Each structure stands twice: as structure tokens, then as C-alpha cells.
Structure 1
Amino acid sequence: MARGLQRPSGGLAPHFARCRMTRVLPQEVPVAIVFNGTTQAVMMATPDKLDAFGIGFALTEGTVTRGDEIETLEVIRHAKGYEVRMWVSDAAADRMAERRRSMMGPVGCGLCGIDSLDQAVRDVPRVISDFAMTTEQVRAATADLRNHQPLHDQTRAVHGAAFWQGDIIAACEDVGRHNALDKLIGTLMQRGIDPEQGAIVLTSRVSIDMVQKVAILGAPILIAVSAPTAQAIEIADKSNLTVAALSRGDHFETFTHPERIRP
């Protein structure tokens, strides 16, 4: 018997009371991403900020390289889900054909559905920003992220992604970690925020697809609460991206390009 525990007197079993309660749960619905009338992907996502989700997805998938290549965007609600319908320039449409998806992507993997191994582990641009943070700012950014997760506070079932620029100035949540990041990236584009002068802060692990998205965005520092994968660190190192992970309380570990994290 564990220390500090007492067996009920008289050999009686402990009594457990049941009660009814109400709990808020996040939504997880199919969201189709459609370019020029062709469905590029169907993702399971939280139906919030879907316009930003579409923009971020288009950028990180390489369909567009600038926001003005998206000519129109509308979010359409259907009986069984949502459709983010975009019309893009001819150049963007050609890129889309090179980055094809053929199946529904579950929330746990941002690469599911890619029908080419070369496309799964693709080359990403090198980050050129010289933006830097202090160790105290890294810890403060992680702590501040907790104040921008209202859906997580209600449900304990979603991921968060935020952009730090002296303070958290933008944050998004979703049941999928890569969806949350795409929503954040789309939000930054919508608001005209320079991603090269700030840091991405995540509640999730650092996987290959997360590193690819941040490098494509051009943000120089990626801070995460959880750990990275070995392959993600290899890509981050090659792309000149600083990764500080396992950031909890007063502790974090810098895995790549520590020159951007200053005492």
C-alpha cells in the first residue's frame, strides 16, 4: 500500500459518487482547399479563421509566393464541412500541379497525402534574417503563449501557434498543429506583418513539416514547448533556422543556430 493511504475501515470498499457535468469540446470538420476549381487537399480542422488557413496553406505548400497571387478567396459552408475556394494566378496554378495531394489529410500529419517522396522532403529556402532574442525573451514568449489559448483553456484538446515581436501579436488555435501554424501564417500575411522580425512560438512538437513551413515563411526563430525530431533539426540547420525547444518554465534547449539566442 502506498505511504499516506489508509484502507477503509471494516473492509468496506471506497465510495465513488457520479455526477453530470458539461464540457466544451473542439470541433473537427472536413475543410477542402480548392484552387481554381480543383481540390488540392481535404484537412480535418477547427472551423475558425478558415480564410487565414487557406492563405497560409497556399503559401507553405508553395502554391503562391505572394499574397497578391490569390485573386479571390471565399469560405463556403456545406452540410458536411467547409470549402476554402481560391482563384490564383496562372503561375501559381502551375506550381500547384507540382505539389499534388490526393487524399484527406488527418490532423496529425501535415505531409499526409503527398504522392511523391521528393515533395515530402523538399528543399526549403535559407532564412536570411539576423533577428535575435535574449534567453529571457525566449522564456517570456513561451509563457505569454499561455495567455492566448482560449480554446485550449476550454477544451484541453487543441494546439496553438503564435508570433512574438516584443509580445505575442498574433495567435491561432486548431485541433491540428500544422493547421494552427498555417492559420497563423495566413494571419501574418493578412495583417502585413514582417515574419523576418519575430519568432514563431508553438505548443506542439517540432516535426519536419513545421520546420518547412516556418522556413518558407522566413521567420528566423522557432520556439516550441515540446521536442523536435532528428530529421526536423537536420532541415532547420540547413535552412539557417534557429530552433529552441522544450521551452518550459526557466528551461529551454537550443538545437540549431544558437547565435540568435543571446544572454
Structure 2
Amino acid sequence: MEKTMKINGKQVSFTGEANLLEVIRKAGIELPTFCYHSELSVYGACRMCLVEDDNGRIMAACSTPPRPGMSIRTHTERLIRQRRVTLELLLANHDRECTTCVKSGNCRLQELANILGIGEIRFGQKNGRLPIDDSSPAIVRDPNKCILCGDCVRMCEEVQGVGVLGFAYRGSNAKVVPPFNKNISEVNCVDCGQCAAVCPTGALTIASHMEKVWSALHDPQKTVVAQIAPAVRVSLGEEFGLKPGTPAT
């Protein structure tokens, strides 16, 4: 049965939407989020999708179910000011060396900072840098760029069923790490890359092997074969006379 509610003064219908955020986006209104993915559980941590009702109450759209007769606003002066402060706090604890970051130009944090016009960070930056974990052949983990959105944790646990990332410590010391703070190569990571796919910043990225590729291309003693994954093992096997479909690891 179709129900209605008001969003920014306009009547909007909804049926099976699980939360206000889905109704708002269905109405063509874009609300910023870091921690919301429809295929993952609701986390409600980033506080970017806040909305305000007619009584002045503020709530997270991602974790609030829609109700008939509700009336909410999405871009009041108060809400925009709150989002700007939230972004400033995230940026204060973030490695802002954007020019050398592989996610520059494709970073959700950078994008929203530009949209909301964040030109100055009024809060002091966290002292000290955490070591970058590049021990894996597939994933590079830079905790200095993590904003604790939890996307990688839920993706690894709920979708992939592996669970090699989790929250550790409390308060300002909180961070996302593999078990016992080990390097990611020391745990049962399957190198699927799904954590990097949902990470909104450069905290988790796909490892680059471009230097090795260029080195191989310039080596006269090597013949370089280019092949698109994921069929590399099968295609090479066929070239050497193996039955089609046989993996040649």
C-alpha cells in the first residue's frame, strides 16, 4: 500500500523503503553518506545524512524508518552547518596529502569537502603517523586516511564472510585493524579487494605493481605477456596445449 510523507514541503510517496534515506533518494534528493550501503547493515556512524523534522529534532536518515505523515527537511541552514563541522572533524584526523594519494579525484571525502566548501580546518591535526601496511600483494592499508566509517569491516564480514578487519581500541584511539593488529598479509585475507571497493577514502587501495611491469617491459631478457584477469591461468594453459578450462597455476 502506498503511503505519503513530506520532504522539503513536497508530498512524496513510499512503499517498501527501509529508511528515510532511501525515500529521500527516490525523490531525487541527494544526501551525503560515508557509511551507508544498501547491501550492508545500517551502521549510522558518519552522521552526514542527518535530517530535521518540523519540531526541530535531528535524526539520521539511514537508520530512521519512514512513517506516514512525517515531515522532514534535508538541507536547512542548521543541517548544512552540522555537516560542515562533521567534515572538518574528519579532516582534522585525516592525512590530507591529497596530491600524492591514489584516490585523489575519486575520493568521497575530498568530493564532499569541495561541495560543502570546506576551505579551512579549525581543529588541530592528530600528532604522529601510523605505519602503512603494504605487506599484501593485493591491498594497501593506510590507517592515516581512515575515517572509521566501517564500510570495509561490514563488507568483509557480511558479504565476503571472511572478517579480517575490525574495530579496535576506544575513543580517539579507535582504528580499523586486522586481528591482534597484525599486518593484513598475516591473517586470512583472501585478497578479494572488496574492502578497497567500498572504502570512500585512500585508507584501503589496490596495490600497484606498475614499477615491476615497467621493469619487465624494459628487460631484454624477458618476454612480457599481457592478459586480462580473471582468466589468466586458463588462457595460458590453452596456449600450452592444455584442455580448455584447465587452470595452469
Instruction: Please identify the structure whose Cα radius of gyration is greater.
Output: 2
Structure whose residues are more often strand by fraction:
1
Question: Could you tell me the TM-score, scaled by structure 2's length?
Answer: 0.28
Greater relative contact order structure (CA < 8 Å, 6+ sep): 1
Question: Could you tell me the TM-score, scaled by structure 1's length?
Answer: 0.27
